[in-house]
Amino acid sequence: MSGPLILSGKRSSFWPVVVLCLGLALVPLVAVLTKQGHWVSLTTQMMILALAALSLDLILGIGGLLSFGHAAFIGLGAYTTGILIQEGKGDLFIALPMSLVVSGLFAFVTGIIALRTRGVVFIMITLAFGQMAFFAAQALYAYGGDDGLTLDGRSTLFGLKLLSNKIVFYYLTFFCLAGCLLLLQRLSRARFGRVLLGSRDNAVRMETLGYDVFRVRLVAYVLSGMMAGLAGFLLANHTEFVSPAYAAWQRSGDLIFMVIIGGVGSLWGAVGGALTYLLLEEGLSGLTEHWKVIFGPLIIAFVLLTHGGIEGVVTRVRDLLDGGRHD
């Protein structure tokens, strides 16, 4: 069983995750020691993006389902949290479960419809559902409508303002990301992941083998939506602001870019993708306010120049790096 993308190889995905997690765990320490406090906030943002990209990687990389409306789940999580905070019910143990429930429910309902379709129609229908969430956010006139909503503060923990501390919030984000990474890693190796992967490569065969492909995909879709909802919860707390832009379709495109540049289906690559995206954004926007004029062609060149599909090149480059690093 050796496909172009084997997700369960112990060597290729376990150690990078461990190294990555250890590295991220040390960031606040290093930042405090070197007095570079803004690193903490920047890395937090990166990890939130990474979590969102990771959740997309579950359905895109392992499931082979190109969802173009993934930002909707982030928006739903963020708005649920934002509204609860504004209504004075922003405690972590209310806002977090509610964010997960709302984004999960939206994923369940839209998934039932979207997963009946294949290929191109799936892309379009997820895009359309994403837009629906975007317009719903715009229609929330009482909560800022088009302009978004500045929150009164962050979620509390049993009434304590613990999360307002940068370091505490960093580790909350860190544990969310690490937990999801490990969860997905286990899942992709378990039967669930195998069936999902098999359905990507040959759905008919999996059906014939007696698996309920639709149900497995729906579970993956809901799980992915909830994870993105978690990212939305964190994002609303991190920025203390919610806006329809969180659910905009360009955001979904950015997420796809992160997943692809990090290597589709490699899970930890989503973290690298988010980092690359942020670095590009920071670097290019330092050059010119019109940084997207450079970023757009970069994407195009990336796609065009990597002949034989992006995945191939990324895998090749990664093999090269793995070989050279002898870990």
The nearer residue to another protein, 29 or 293, going by C-beta atoms, is 293
Is 8 an interacting residue with respect to another protein (CB under 8 A)?
A: no
Residue 318 in contact with another protein, rule: CB under 8 A: no
- List the one residue from 19, 101, 121, 317 that touches another protein (CB under 8 A): 121
- By beta-carbon proximity to another protein, the closer residue of 135 and 175 is 135
CA distance 255 to 219: 21
Size of the residue set binding another protein (CB under 8 A) = 49
Q: Any idea what the Cα angle at residue 311 is, between residues 179 and 292, rounded to 5°? A: 85
Q: Which is nearer to another protein, 33 or 120 (CB)?
A: 120
Which of 256, 271, 275, 314 is close enough to bind another protein by CB under 8 A? 256
Please, which residues bridge with residue 149 across strands?
242
- Tokens 């990166």 correspond to 46
Applying CB under 8 A, among 296, 312, 320, 325 the residue interacting with another protein is 296
DSSP conformational letter for 242: E
Q: Which of 171, 310, 318, 322 binds another protein (CB under 8 A)?
A: 310
Phi, psi at residue 69, to the nearest 5°?
A: -130, 30
Question: Considering the rule CB under 8 A, would residue 313 count as an interface residue with another protein?
Answer: no
229 DSSP β-pair partners:
none
Neighbours of 280 (CB within 10 A): 17
CA separation for the pair 73, 162 (Å, rounded): 26
Q: Are 73 and 103 within 8 A, CB to CB?
A: yes
120 is a contact residue toward another protein (CB under 8 A): yes
* 131 interacts with another protein by CB under 8 A: yes
Element (H, E) at 149: strand 149-150
Residue 259: CB minimum distance to another protein, A: 9
Structure tokens at 91: 């405690």
Binding site for another protein (CB under 8 A): 60, 66, 68, 110, 113, 116-117, 119-121, 123-125, 127-129, 131-132, 135-141, 145-146, 249-250, 253, 256-257, 260, 264, 290-293, 295-300, 302-304, 309-310
